[in-house]
Each structure stands twice: as C-alpha cells, then as structure tokens.
Amino acid sequence: MARRLLTAFKFHSKTLNDFHHFGSRCAYQNLSICSKRNKASTAATAQPINEQEDVKDLETTPDPAFARIDTSFDDAQEAFKSKTNSELIRAYLVLQSCAVKPLVDYNKQLLAFGRKFLGKTLFEKFMKGTFYGQFVAGKDIDEIKPIAERNKSYGVKSILDYSVEMDLSREQAKDVEMDAVASVGDKGYAANDEADLANRFQGHRDFGDRRDNVMSARTYFYKDEAMCDENLQHFINGIDAVSGATNATGFAAVKLTALGRPQFLLQLSEVLARVRRYYETLASGYGTGKLQMADFERHLKSFKVGKEERQKWFTILDITGDGEIDLLDWHNLLEINLGLAKLLQIPNLKTGKLEPLVDALTDKEEEQMMNMLRRMDTIATYGKQKDVRVMIDAEQTYFQPAINRLCMEMMRKYNKDKAIIFNTYQCYLKDAHNMITLDLALSKRENFHFGAKLVRGAYLEQERDRAATLGYEDPINPSYEATTAMYEKVLTEVMQSIQERPKGDIAVMVASHNEDTVRFTLQKMQEYNIRSTDRLICFGQLLGMCDQVSFMLGQAGYSVYKYVPYGPVEEVLPYLSRRATENNTMLAKAKKERRLLRQELLRRFASLKFFYRPTPPAVSPLDAMQGKTSA
C-alpha cells in the first residue's frame, strides 16, 4: 500500500516545465497599481521623477471602491438595480415561503406531489418561475450565459457549479456510501491505542447519508467509475463555459468526492492524521516543539532502524537543512520520493513495533485511486490551459486531510506563476488557523502561489454528531462566536502574508453571506492597504442569496463572485430543498433581504415603474478596473 500511495503521488506531481515565474511576476507588478509595501522597490528603480510622483498619488488616494460602498448594505435601490420587477417579486415570494416552517419541513414531499400533480412540463414551468429560477441559473451552459453576462456587467462574476445530485432515499444513500468506503484489503496494522483515528476515518452507516443537515453544499455519492468520468466531463464543460462566458475572470468549483471512490480519501486522511500525531507526540516529548537530529536518531534506534536508514529519514525530512525537524518539514513526509516508502511505517509508541499506516489496497482499489488522481490532474491541467481558476471545495473532516493535501500538491504543481488552484479553509474547525499557517509557509518556502477560499463550514451538525457518537474529539469550535473569531484570525493571517510577500503571491476569496464578515474584510483591506484594484481579495456568495451584499460590492468595484448552480430542474431538486432549509435557518438575514425587496418594489410602483428594465452601465465596473489579475 505504502509503495502504491507513493507511486500515485509521484504520478500526480510530475514537475512542470519552468513557467518563467520571475519574469511574469515582474510584468504583473508593473501592470498593477503599486501599493505602499512595494514603495521602496518602486522608488529605487530609475524612473522619471514625475512618474514616481504619479505612483505616490495613486498610493495615497483612498480606495475609490471603499469610498463608494455603503457598508450598511441597506440601499435597496442600488442593491437591486440589476433586477427586473418580476425577479424582485419572485425573490420576495420565494424567501417569504422559506420562512414558513411547514413548507420547508415538508418541502421534499411537496415537490414530489407537485411533480406528480402538475406533470413534468407544468412542474418545470412552475419551478422556473419560483425556486429554480431564484437559485439555479439554467439547465446547461448555454442557458446560464445570459445571467452570467448580465451579472458581470454589474461587476458580479460567476463560479459555475454543476449542482446535479443523485436523488437517493436515506437508506439508499447509506447503502451506496457503505459500498464506496469499504476496503476489501487486509488490515495491515495491529489494533492499537489510536482507536479514535480508526473510528474517525472509517465509514459508518449511521452517518452514511452525507447530506444530513448540510448547509450550502451539494453531495456526491459514488456509484461507479463511469459516473466519475461523467462528473469529470461536467467539470471540464464548466471550465470551457467559464473561459467562454467570463473571459477567464471566473472560477470552476470542484468537489473531489465527485471524482472517485471516497475510500481512498478516507485512507489517505488516516495516514496523514497518524503521521501528524506521531510527530506531535515525539516533538512534545522534547519540549521545543522541534526535533533535534540526535533525538530523532535515538528514537528510531530504539525501533532497530539501522544507522544509514535513520540518516536517510532525517535528511529527507529536514528540508531546511538546519539540523532540526519542524512541523513544516514533517508535513512533507509524503513527499514524492519512492525512497520514503518506509516512512509509511510508523513506530507504534505503545507496542514498540513498526506498523504500516493503512490497509493494503487491492488491485481494483489501486486502479480506482489512480483514476481519481488522473481526473484531478485532467481538471487542473485543463484549468491552467484555459486560464480558469479551479476552486476545490472543502468537505467533511474525515476526507479533509486528504483533500487539503491533494490540493496543496496541485498548487505546488500548477500555481507556479499564478494562483490557478484554490484550497478551501473551514473556519469552524478548531485547527483552521494552524492549517492555513502551515500551508502558507509551505507555499512560501516552495515558492508557489497560494489560493484560498475562506468559509465558516457547511457540515456543523453532522460533524458534531459523528464525533460524539464515535468517540473522538469534536473538531468544531465550541460556539458561533468562536467560529467568527477564528474566521477573523485566519483572514488577518492571510492579509499579513499578502503584505509580507511579493504582490500577487496570495489570492483569497471571502465566501460568506455574513455582512459583518464582509465589513470586517473591507475594513482590514483598508488597514493593510490592499486595494480593490489589486484583485487579491474577492468575495463569494450563492446565486439568489444576499444580493444586497454581492451587487453592492460588485457595483462599487470590488471583485465578487456568485456560485452559479446549474442543471436540469428534476436533477437539482435536492439542492433546491437545501436552499429552502438554509434560508429558513438564516431568519435574520432572510428577513432583511425581504425587507429590502419589499422596499424597492414599493418604491418602483410608487414612481410608476411597472415595467422597470435594468440598464447595465456602459462600462462595467470590471472593465473600468485596471490591472485585472488574480482575485
């Protein structure tokens, strides 16, 4: 298994040719408006005095977008100027019905009844005039283009999100999931004291329906390899559409569970968690948080690892060559190096024996794993070729170590000259700040661009229940306030890194519907002198939700994206069902949106604008921006 995993990594991370990294970064810096942090180097170049003065003027001018935006997000006329009256009425009615609890509680039954009672054609018409029309952009790429184009002319770009889900009952979902996570390979390691890890990274029938209580995210179940190839094709089509419809200003969203059998993600996650725990246990014994060569050698010696072998381990791990191993070095344990195969055997501190970390894979499982890596690679290569950025969604914590790790491997490979691959960090996790700090450090040390989407996290209740039932520590922050504090800490860390590193090295999306979080970000951008025109920080919301935030940001000149779901009516019903539930739980937010919608409708009717037609600005806020770049 160890050899197979490593071979897979080798396959996955073949080095790319040189992308003229340095040259392109210099060109980028010349194009962009220089911020204060680049002042010294700008001033040092031999430019005519008046040009330097121009640069200073730009630097000291307040960010026009910040001056323009009304951060109360209370200006209904401005917020909805891109919408027709019928769109406002639809939004109002849909959000209003999401507030009616029985309608939401029984939405699945009602949808099924509606489908039966109205018949396919009428039902589709009804859905397009209501829920589907509000939250989904169309059945395919051609249908979504008009919405994507109109939104873009108001400064709101698109992240295409193919939202078709298998429509399974709970029991069916559990059956499918248990098949997909079972490994028929031999258990390679002895039962040891790490039962919590084993529990955490194994499929459990009670939690087999991964759709339970999920906010905002769609769920893929594994049926077979052919279905994963179909999903791959949808992602590729999405990249094509982004590149065609948005002239490469967009993203395509990808979920790794759509691309293969999730059992591999579980196994790799378990390996990573064990490896990390091993390091932490060892390092904590030495007080400094770092391992000295002599200590590590002594430790390995007690496991009868030969001298030559011991030194090889240390040389591979001590990447900085400073005679110490820190967590960042350790993070590279699964580095693409066949010589490391032995490291996938970790000494068991209790039994005193070397143990393989994971189950052995059968030939079929190995093939499935390779297929998944191949599909990921195809998407990333295609995204790079088309200059479309690929946003990898975060999922449940039992998949997340693997998803995070694979994402970093892709960044290492594809983000040499700009951020093409974006990872997602869930700030409801206690470990969120540690994780992003480590990944930022890795990208800095290995000189690749870092792309991140920051979210609070979609699987709160599921995660808490699973941890409590299976007996491992709850990975989620203890309260909503703690999650918000974590979000702000993570965002501040990223902004600090943006300031410290060469401009353009880091790009981040603040994906949240929370107005306070958006205000916090705008304020911090001012503080860190990150201008809207830098295009280093962008915002993300879902189509049909919190338009007052997205459009106010876009129209002011900030970089903002909508996740734009698409798919045929009948196949996105599970997604629509969740939209209804989420809007019902976000009572305060939905209430404000309804108030603004009502206010704007009344204003238009009072001024006799019964047939209001939006007139997009002659020059979109996007086109008005200079130096369009990564965010």
Ligand X SMILES: Cc1cc2nc3c(=O)[nH]c(=O)nc-3n(C[C@H](O)[C@H](O)[C@H](O)COP(=O)(O)OP(=O)(O)OC[C@H]3O[C@@H](n4cnc5c(N)ncnc54)[C@H](O)[C@@H]3O)c2cc1C
The residues binding ligand X (CB under 6 A) are 215-217, 393-394, 424, 426, 428, 455-460, 476-477, 479-480, 483, 511-514, 517, 540-542, 563, 586
Taking the C-alpha atoms of residue 550 and residue 154, their distance in angstroms, rounded to an integer, is 10
Nearer to ligand X, 394 or 442 (CB): 394
Nearer to ligand X, 147 or 394 (CB): 394
Q: Are 190 and 348 in contact (CB under 8 A)?
A: yes
Shortest separation between residue 255's beta carbon and ligand X, angstroms? 8
| Exposure class string for 315-328: b at 16+ Cβ within 10 A, else e | ebbbbeeeebbbbb
Distances (CA, A) of 553 to 72, 248, 531, 539: 12, 20, 13, 8
Shortest separation between residue 393's beta carbon and ligand X, angstroms? 3
Shortest separation between residue 514's beta carbon and ligand X, angstroms? 3
Nearer to ligand X, 69 or 391 (CB): 391
The residue whose two tokens read 């998949």 is: 399
Taking the C-alpha atoms of residue 122 and residue 581, their distance in angstroms, rounded to an integer, is 24
Query: Tokens at residue 34, please?
Result: 């220089």
Nearer to ligand X, 326 or 395 (CB): 395
- Taken in order 77, 78, 84, 88, is the CA torsion positive or negative? negative
Closest CA to 87 of 512, 530, 543: 543
Nearer to ligand X, 340 or 454 (CB): 454
Q: To 5 degrees, how large is the angle CA 271–CA 272–CA 275? A: 85
Q: Are 542 and 563 in contact (CB under 8 A)?
A: yes
Nearer to ligand X, 310 or 456 (CB): 456
Q: Are 463 and 397 in contact (CB under 8 A)?
A: yes
Shortest separation between residue 502's beta carbon and ligand X, angstroms? 27
Shortest separation between residue 453's beta carbon and ligand X, angstroms? 6
Q: Are 257 and 397 in contact (CB under 8 A)?
A: no
Shortest separation between residue 114's beta carbon and ligand X, angstroms? 27
Query: Tokens at residue 483, please?
Result: 């999650």
Query: Tokens at residue 626, please?
Result: 């200079």
Shortest separation between residue 545's beta carbon and ligand X, angstroms? 8
Nearer to ligand X, 274 or 456 (CB): 456
Taking the C-alpha atoms of residue 594 and residue 602, their distance in angstroms, rounded to an integer, is 12
Query: Tokens at residue 548, please?
Result: 């007052």
Taking the C-alpha atoms of residue 215 and residue 538, their distance in angstroms, rounded to an integer, is 21
Phi, psi of 161 (to 5 degrees): -135, 100
Shortest separation between residue 375's beta carbon and ligand X, angstroms? 18
Nearer to ligand X, 438 or 510 (CB): 510
Taking the C-alpha atoms of residue 271 and residue 14, their distance in angstroms, rounded to an integer, is 22
Nearer to ligand X, 278 or 575 (CB): 575
Closest CA to 412 of 460, 446, 379: 446
The residue whose two tokens read 């951020």 is: 419
Nearer to ligand X, 164 or 460 (CB): 460
Nearer to ligand X, 35 or 550 (CB): 550
Taking the C-alpha atoms of residue 404 and residue 206, their distance in angstroms, rounded to an integer, is 25
Shortest separation between residue 217's beta carbon and ligand X, angstroms? 5
Shortest separation between residue 397's beta carbon and ligand X, angstroms? 10
Query: Tokens at residue 226, please?
Result: 């052919």
Nearer to ligand X, 421 or 476 (CB): 476
Taking the C-alpha atoms of residue 545 and residue 562, their distance in angstroms, rounded to an integer, is 9
DSSP, residue by residue, 405-471: HHHHHHHHHH-SSS--EEEEEETTBTTHHHHHHHHHHHHHHTT--EEEEEE--S-HHHHHHHHHHHT
Nearer to ligand X, 283 or 458 (CB): 458
Shortest separation between residue 542's beta carbon and ligand X, angstroms? 5
Shortest separation between residue 391's beta carbon and ligand X, angstroms? 8
Q: Are 433 and 157 in contact (CB under 8 A)?
A: no
Nearer to ligand X, 255 or 310 (CB): 255
- Alpha-carbon Rg for the chain in angstroms: 25
- CB neighbour list of residue 313: distance below 8 Å, 6 or more residues apart: 296, 300, 305, 342, 343
Shortest separation between residue 5's beta carbon and ligand X, angstroms? 25
Nearer to ligand X, 518 or 525 (CB): 518
The burial class, CB within 10 Å (0-12 / 13-18 / 19+), for 555 is buried
Query: Tokens at residue 209, please?
Result: 């329906």
Angle between helices 363-386 and 225-245 (to 10 degrees): 10
Q: How far is CA 417 from the centre of its chain?
A: 20
